[in-house]
Amino acid sequence: MTEILHGRAIADSIKADVAALARELSESGIDPRLAVVLIGDDPASRIYTASIEKSAARAGITVSVVEPAASVGGDGVAAVLRKLDRDPEVHGIIVQQPLPAGIPTAVIEEVSPEKDVDGSTTRSAGLVALGRPAFAPCTAGAVVEMLVRSGVEISGRHVVIVGRSPVVGRPLALLLLRKEDAGNATVTVCHSRTVDLERHTRSADILVAAMGRPEAIRGHMVGEGAVVVDVGINRLEDASAPKGYRVVGDVAFDEVVGKAAAVTEVPGGVGSMTTALLLLHTVRAAGAQSGHGEGGGGRFG
């Protein structure tokens, strides 16, 4: 029997925790607040922002959507971010990407690690790399939460990650190496240049597919009893589907069911947890910044 791991259900459990932590902070007079910085008119960013606002409202987190005009340029956006970063009422900052032409990605570096709840800055990446407290990109964090909340032991297990992107594979490897209960894994990172990929994937206790290639992890590549986490979200043309396409992961789901101990579904897997992670990071940031430690959700990172 292969257990199906449902990202939406885990996202709900995270959001319930966030709501409880936000309530605790609120009782101490702290109003957890996330600033979403939205520049230009990227439609996907607008949809994501609306979805953050909705989830945040339910969890008791206030969202300020800040929309500098693209015409203010890189310096103007940097000034807006510096102001938010200094504002004690703002605990977390996310800058929606992609940025419009003319706004360099480097503006994000104005955000301090303490408020960088999407783990987007070089300094956050450095702290994660050094094994020090910091927020990792939400998707990497979502994989860890998926495992922890599904009761999967991480410490001492062999995790094989396929994919070395700066937002998933690399930070996830570094998170899983941390000296803590949700870390202490032995970690292998594979990628497009890996020779004999199957040998590596079959040896995994926990296999994470994050290379962005539809159904590239086939059944014979998965060891009996492995836990398989699928981070991929790919569109495949499918004339028989209502929208003309269907969404599949990086894992050939049907081939893995019956063999793996557990597997995440796509859609409805890790991808549906990122907003929950953003809110979790925000409430932790608020706790840490206001001196409310573990109890108040004040874990930084």
Residues that bind a second copy (CB under 8 A): 121-131, 155-158, 164, 166, 170-171, 173-174, 177, 184, 186-191, 193-195, 200
Q: Can you tell me the distance from the alpha carbon of 243 to that of 252, in angstroms, rounded to the nearest whole number?
A: 21
Rg (CA), the chain: 19
Q: DSSP 3-state assignment of 56? A: helix
Q: Which residues contact 243 (CB under 8 A, 6 or more apart)?
A: none
Quick check: 261 and 3 in contact, CB under 8 A? yes
Residue with tokens 């894994």: 185
Nearest approach, Cβ of residue 291 and a second copy (Å): 20
Q: DSSP 3-state assignment of 220? A: helix
Report the residue number, 186 or 234, with the smaller CB distance to a second copy: 186
Report the residue number, 171 or 232, with the smaller CB distance to a second copy: 171
Nearest approach, Cβ of residue 215 and a second copy (Å): 21
Report the residue number, 133 or 268, with the smaller CB distance to a second copy: 133
Report the residue number, 178 or 292, with the smaller CB distance to a second copy: 178
Nearest approach, Cβ of residue 222 and a second copy (Å): 17
Nearest approach, Cβ of residue 84 and a second copy (Å): 21
Alpha-helix residue ranges (DSSP H) falling in the chain: 7-27, 43-59, 73-86, 122-129, 138-149, 169-176, 197-202, 253-256, 274-289
Report the residue number, 124 or 275, with the smaller CB distance to a second copy: 124
Tokens of 250: 């990086």
Report the residue number, 163 or 232, with the smaller CB distance to a second copy: 163
Tokens of 1: 């029997």
Nearest approach, Cβ of residue 204 and a second copy (Å): 11
Nearest approach, Cβ of residue 124 and a second copy (Å): 7
232 Ramachandran zone, left/alpha/beta (phi>0; psi -120 to 50)? beta
